[in-house]
Chain A
Amino acid sequence: MKWIAAIPLAALLVGLPFFAGDFYVNLASQILIAAIFALSLNLLVGYGGMTSLGHASYLGVAAYISALLTSRYGWGHGAAALFSIAGTTVTAAFFGIIALRATGLGFLMITLALSQVLWGLAYRMSNVTNGDNGIAGLTRPMPFGISLDSAASFYWFDLIVASFAFLMMTIFVSSSFGSSLKGVRDQPRRMAALGFNPWMIRWITFIYAGFWGGIAGLLYVYYNKYIHPTSLSTTSSAEALLGVIAGGSGTPGGPVVGAALVLLLKNYASAYIERWNMLLGLVFLFIVLVMPTGIVPGLSKLLRRGSR
């Protein structure tokens, strides 16, 4: 009977622009983008046991490719989107080959180093990327001739993509491939003994996660109509990782809740104080020390105890 509870939630999500102002609709759009991004990272962290600190690479690569193609080379949005997603997926495949030579902390350090390299490129290659000025004056696409410039229309577009992404990623982890992924996470040697190829399973997951990271990046650049090297920075990767861990890694809904919380906190806090990075650091300490399994598993444990 779980799905009955989903109906009012879906109605609420679809109907949001009818009763909320533009500010909240835009906030919801950003949350959806962050949620897709966190969900894609969760495939690696939660289901694959591969903690990546460089996931912003895929968001940034997709966003930069799309921004460059549409603004500098005058490509249409459709072709640019396809090309940027393909480029991001190839990047993920390449980074995966390098990073998956190691596991655990080595994997984490290599993903961090790789993403820092991209960040450095975006910053220093100013004749291509405009460096610290970023690329401004971008446009949103017009799928089927519908303008996405209003807050509500972009939100609905975002919601469709996010729902599809959620569905696809949930199917991915609940498929038999997802089971073998979880098996590789918990018992890589036994899985290898059973005839599975742990490296291949991890690599495919890495690419798939990069693909959805790229989708989030496209939406990100459509929403902001602007791209800056900070979206490739460690802070950006860390925010997503915090969302995953705060919400509960390895759960289907946890990263959505976590990403929403991080984004709300960032928006709310930056209205009052300038010290977002310090706050982010403190939240990291708090979550890891006090709620290591995340909010969603923690709450559902409480609920189960209450209903008994």
Chain B
Amino acid sequence: MQFWIIQGLNSLSLGGLLFLLSSGFSLIFGLMRLANLTHGAFFMLGTYFGATTLRAYSGLNIWVTALGAGLAVAAIGGLFERLVLTRLKTNPLGQVLVTLGMSFIISDACLMLWGGDSIPVPTPHNLQAPTRLMGFVFPTYRLVLVGCAIAAAIALYFLIERTRLGAMIRAGVDDRQMARAIGIPVSNLFTIVFCLGAGIAGAGGVLGGPILSAYPGLDGDMLPLALIVVILGGIGSLLGAFVGSFIIGFIYTFGTALFPELAYIILFLPMIVVIAFRPQGLFGRAGA
């Protein structure tokens, strides 16, 4: 019983992390029609930032660090969007290739700066004590992480559905040219959304640090998970990213625990089933 509950919680916390990663990917894809293959690298960059600062200043709050790393990664993403991606507006394939090139550059730069050994990220002191609930012992940090992902989901929901900025983003997703025609600055929106997506990934990287630790190749491990999540949930759908993240979180965690060698195959089965019967994903719109 303890096994199932602990693995269940692990699944939830991995799902939460995956949501922080894939929500940004999905937002960017929805608005910009751009498969941002740098997203895994943004996440990894956040983890490395977190590892360095939290180890150097042990008193530092992990939330502040996550915010800082999120802002830093958002700035990098914004620069990349402004300097490179905007030049390739008419060339969607070129945009994807450039994000791929950028991911190689970032991951190699991380290898150069932080070396090839994995760097553990300390769990915050006040969250180290386990939580006892109904006779079971839970690692507190993982519980907090799940709460964090849910909070992020609610915040994103309100941003997209209830604010003026969100309304403009939705307009841009639905009909980019019409949105431009009625005076919505779509190319500024692109930059904002790209920064937002990159920032969430960077902050998620810090929060995932205590569980995953920072290591070279983290980007390559996370990016396919994000791809599978959004293909499963429906590209560009926030709800799809949310549901997909937790589905994949469960499948991956239990797959690794029960059949370690086949985890990758099990991971990809739901994707095949969904693609076969609903190519647009669980919550995607046809033609998107």
Chain B nearest Cβ from A145, distance in angstroms = 40
With known contacts A275-B112, A277-B108, A284–B100 Cβ distance under 8 A: yes
Contact with B along A240-266 (1 / 0, CB 8 A): 011001000000000000000000000
Chain A nearest Cβ from B221, distance in angstroms = 9
Q: Which of B231-288 contact A (CB under 8 A)?
A: 231, 235, 260-261, 263-265, 267-268, 271-272, 275-276, 279
Residues of B within 8 A of A113 (CB): 224, 227-228, 231, 268, 271
Residues of B within 8 A of A289 (CB): 84, 87-88, 94, 98
The reply to whether B103 and A245 form a contact with Cβ atoms under 8 Å apart is no
The reply to whether B267 and A102 form a contact with Cβ atoms under 8 Å apart is no
The reply to whether B98 and A288 form a contact with Cβ atoms under 8 Å apart is yes
The reply to whether A101 and B279 form a contact with Cβ atoms under 8 Å apart is yes
Contact with A along B218-231 (1 / 0, CB 8 A): 00100110011011
The reply to whether B98 and A285 form a contact with Cβ atoms under 8 Å apart is yes
Chain B nearest Cβ from A113, distance in angstroms = 5
Contact with A along B91-123 (1 / 0, CB 8 A): 111101110111111011101100000000000
Cβ-based interface call for B170 (8 A): no
Residues of A within 8 A of B220 (CB): 116, 233-234
Number of residues in A with C-beta < 8 Å to the partner?
A: 40
Number of residues in B with C-beta < 8 Å to the partner?
A: 46
Cβ-based interface call for A281 (8 A): yes
Cβ-based interface call for B33 (8 A): yes
Cβ-based interface call for B17 (8 A): no
Sampled A-B contacts (21; CB under 8 Å):
A98-B272, A98-B275, A105-B33, A105-B92, A105-B96, A106-B235, A113-B224, A113-B228, A113-B231, A113-B268, A116-B224, A117-B264, A124-B260, A124-B264, A127-B261, A235-B104, A277-B111, A280-B101, A281-B104, A281-B105, A284-B104
* Known A238-B100, A281-B104; 10 more pairs at CB < 8 Å: A104-B92, A113-B268, A114-B268, A117-B268, A120-B263, A241-B97, A275-B108, A277-B108, A277-B111, A278-B109
8 A-B pairs with least C-beta separation? A284-B101, A281-B104, A281-B105, A116-B224, A278-B108, A120-B264, A281-B101, A277-B108
Residue positions of B touching A, CB distance < 8 A:
29, 33-35, 37, 84, 87-88, 91-94, 96-98, 100-105, 107-109, 111-112, 220, 223-224, 227-228, 230-231, 235, 260-261, 263-265, 267-268, 271-272, 275-276, 279
